[in-house]
Chains A and B, each alone.
Chain A
Amino acid sequence: MEHEIIYVSLAAAFGIFMAWGIGANDVANAMATSVGSKALTIKQAILVAAVFEFLGAVLAGGAVTSTIRKGIVDANQLADSPELLIYGMLAALLAAGTWLLIASSKGWPVSTTHSIVGAIVGFAAVGIGVDAVKWSKVGTIVLSWIVSPLTAGLIAFLIFESVRRLILQQENPLEKAKKFVPFYIFLAAFTMTLVTILKGLSHVGLTISVKDSYLLAAAIATLVALIGAFAIRRIQPDPRHEKKQHFYTVERVFAVLMVVTACSMAFAHGSNDVANAIGPVAAIISVAKNGLVGEKAALSNWVLFLGGAGIVTGLATYGRHVIRTVGEKITQLTPSRGFAAELAAATTIVIASGTGIPISTTHTLVGAVLGVGLARGIEAIDLRVVGRIVVSWVVTIPAGAGLAIVFFYIFKAVLPAVM
């Protein structure tokens, strides 16, 4: 492999740029809900995001990465000309990055996941041949883009409705909150750890039996819930603020819960979105190293590590500003509502990550917020934005695909052949 270095460094550069973009922009959506509800300060949010995005990427990001890497393009079609996959994946990274740049400068609600999947499908279908795309897999992915916001919305609706009945509508909401919130904490921690253990850890080389997985998840969740319960017990009513807002102290109890769901959200985001940047890089590396489309080649952990580091860098350099501005704007999402949205979104995303399906974390979160809204939990939701999401959803796929096709032919003409 004479040109291995060129390809790998190009891929790494594009991949890191993409990861940086995800950290700078997408993470803000995952974290701003916690900042907006004042459950976390900006500094705490960045710390939580950095740690859990990274953990999510490394511990549970493997399955989605391998879908992006080898689940969409049929490698058998490329046995004779593996370099096409390199050009294509480079083109896809550049196309998705370019499209995201255009879209965010115009303020369109575009998803990283949609861009990268559209770009990969585009270069494969046009640059290689329509048969080179695993259409059934692509079909599943596109369907999941509709299903995931709906699922998150439904879960959020149910969670929030239960909060309302069990706590908010009661005569003594504070007492009820202190009683029930630890159970919600258990639920959040249990779901996250269980999915990670069941679906994610095999990529890191750990295998635990199903029964042990449940026990381990329950043990970890109990521990988290106990810590939460301890923190909640220390919360005392504040009559000065209570006079203005009767639910002031109740919301402070929920804020403890929201710290847990914020961690879950960051973890879920890392587990799904790191693949958008790192999947194509992993594909390029395995071809460039082995000279063939190595379907069997294992994913090197350092690539996931690289992606996680890229996201955290994006978060630290630029994402903090986005988190602040978004957080200040969405104060309607009090902890009692924000946790419902976050828990629903994080659960949906982590399950998708475990199954290896790349979904849009932002759209899933929007679905969850709408679910809380449908439970009459949010004071005002602008439905025009929901319309814009649907439009950009439809536009992003051909746009990503078109750009990827153009870059593909440019790379094919300019870059040296692999063999």
Chain B
Amino acid sequence: MSNLLENLFGSSPVMPLEQHVNIAYRCTRELIGFIDAALAEDWDKATEVRKTIAALEHEADNLKKEIRLHLPKSLFMPVPREDLLELLLVQDKMANLTKDVSGLVLGRRMVIPKELAANFRVFVQRNVDAAKQARKSVRELDELFTTGFRGAEVKLVTSLIETLDNIETETDDLQASLRRDLFKIEDSLKPVDVIFLYRVIELTGEIANMAERVGRRLELLLSH
């Protein structure tokens, strides 16, 4: 026997979205440990961390499917369903990219040239910071729904997104300087390794880009 009132309330995507961004962030956070292991060429450790990353990415993926499944077209929500699904998608990509980067590095047992090591580590750290700031912003989603996307709460979220944008700009600069450094030494490396190094830098930088797009999506929700 089902009850009218309990059926009237569709399952809300808000808390699941916050959970999802949390898992996605926890996935990207593992990248720091992974890169440390890779820099030290400790491939056993790297394999270990990579397993955690894959598991978290998988968890995020499952939750993504679950959320989509519970968002039928008949749902009436304060914000368009499409915007929430798009937010979910970019959140999920942060985890996907982490998995891609770690897969590439581990698969090729890539050795990061020691000239790049220090800057590369900072670069990864800042990308993870961007994901963390994205999580912080998405965690305000329930408060945004409570206030109807108006008033004091909007100001708070706007400032969180501003910080997120600043971190993303910083990662762009770091990425540019990493590429310059790599360019200087690329003649001394194997061409194939160089190609993949560029690829890893690019993929890692995408994490912050996705985090920034999480911010853009949240902004779109604010404008409703």
Contact call A169/B152, Cβ cutoff below 8 A:
yes
Report which of B2, B5, B153 forms a contact with A362, defined as CB distance below 8 A. Answer: B5
Q: Which of A3-11, A67-75, A76-84, A371-379 contacts B (4 or more CB under 8 A)?
A: A371-379
State whether the Cβ of B4 lies closer than 8 Å to any Cβ in chain A.
yes
Chain A residues, CB < 8 A from B4: 29, 109, 362, 366, 385, 389
- Chain B residue at smallest Cβ distance from A386: B8
Contact call B148/A326, Cβ cutoff below 8 A:
no
Chain A residues, CB < 8 A from B72: 382, 384
Q: Which of B42-50, B102-110, B139-147 contacts A (4 or more CB under 8 A)?
A: B139-147
Contact call A168/B8, Cβ cutoff below 8 A:
no
- Chain B residue at smallest Cβ distance from A247: B146
- How long is the Cα–Cα vector from A332 to B77 in the complex, in angstroms? 12
State whether the Cβ of A171 lies closer than 8 Å to any Cβ in chain B.
yes
- How long is the Cα–Cα vector from A104 to B74 in the complex, in angstroms? 23
State whether the Cβ of B11 lies closer than 8 Å to any Cβ in chain A.
yes
Q: How many A-B residue pairs have CB under 8 A?
A: 113
- How long is the Cα–Cα vector from A322 to B3 in the complex, in angstroms? 8
- How long is the Cα–Cα vector from A218 to B184 in the complex, in angstroms? 83
| 1/0 contact string of B9-31 vs chain A (CB within 8 Å) | 11111100000000000000000
Contact call B148/A29, Cβ cutoff below 8 A:
no
How many chain A residues sit at the interface, stated as a range, is 35 or more
| 1/0 contact string of A219-250 vs chain B (CB within 8 Å) | 00000000000000000000000000111000
| 1/0 contact string of B150-183 vs chain A (CB within 8 Å) | 1111000000000000000000000000000000
- Chain A residue at smallest Cβ distance from B18: A244
Contact call B152/A379, Cβ cutoff below 8 A:
no
Report which of B7, B78, B142, B147 forms a contact with A169, defined as CB distance below 8 A. Answer: B147
State whether the Cβ of A380 lies closer than 8 Å to any Cβ in chain B.
yes
- Chain B residue at smallest Cβ distance from A106: B1
State whether the Cβ of A329 lies closer than 8 Å to any Cβ in chain B.
yes
Chain A residues, CB < 8 A from B74: 382-384
Minimum distance in angstroms from B178 CB to a CB of chain A: 36
Chain A residues, CB < 8 A from B149: 376
Chain A residues, CB < 8 A from B151: 164, 168-170
- How long is the Cα–Cα vector from A333 to B76 in the complex, in angstroms? 15
Contact call B148/A332, Cβ cutoff below 8 A:
no
Contact call A107/B5, Cβ cutoff below 8 A:
no
State whether the Cβ of B220 lies closer than 8 Å to any Cβ in chain A.
no
Q: Which of B43-63 contact A (CB under 8 A)?
A: none
Chain A residues, CB < 8 A from B122: none
Given A164-B147, A169-B151, do A380 and B12 touch, yes or no (CB 8 Å)?
yes
Contact call B12/A334, Cβ cutoff below 8 A:
no
- Chain A residue at smallest Cβ distance from B12: A379
Q: Which of B85-138 contact A (CB under 8 A)?
A: none
- How long is the Cα–Cα vector from A334 to B1 in the complex, in angstroms? 25
Given A376-B78, A376-B149, A382-B74, do A366 and B10 touch, yes or no (CB 8 Å)?
no
Chain A residues, CB < 8 A from B78: 376-379
Contact call B152/A336, Cβ cutoff below 8 A:
no
Chain A residues, CB < 8 A from B2: 107
Given A169-B152, A376-B78, A381-B76, do A332 and B9 touch, yes or no (CB 8 Å)?
yes
Report which of A245, A246, A377, A385 forms a contact with B148, defined as CB distance below 8 A. Answer: A377
Contact call A380/B152, Cβ cutoff below 8 A:
no
- Chain A residue at smallest Cβ distance from B81: A380
State whether the Cβ of B75 lies closer than 8 Å to any Cβ in chain A.
yes
Contact call B3/A28, Cβ cutoff below 8 A:
yes
Chain A residues, CB < 8 A from B187: none
State whether the Cβ of B82 lies closer than 8 Å to any Cβ in chain A.
no
Known: A247-B146, A330-B9. 19 other contacts (CB 8 A): A29-B4, A109-B4, A109-B7, A164-B151, A168-B151, A169-B153, A173-B152, A366-B5, A366-B8, A378-B9, A378-B78, A379-B12, A379-B77, A380-B10, A380-B13, A380-B77, A381-B76, A382-B8, A385-B7
6 contacts between A and B (CB under 8 A): A332-B9, A365-B5, A366-B5, A369-B5, A381-B9, A381-B75
Q: Name the 7 nearest CB pairs between A and B, nearest first.
A: A169-B151, A376-B78, A379-B12, A109-B4, A329-B6, A380-B10, A382-B10
B residues engaging A (CB < 8 A)? 1-14, 71-72, 74-78, 142-143, 145-153
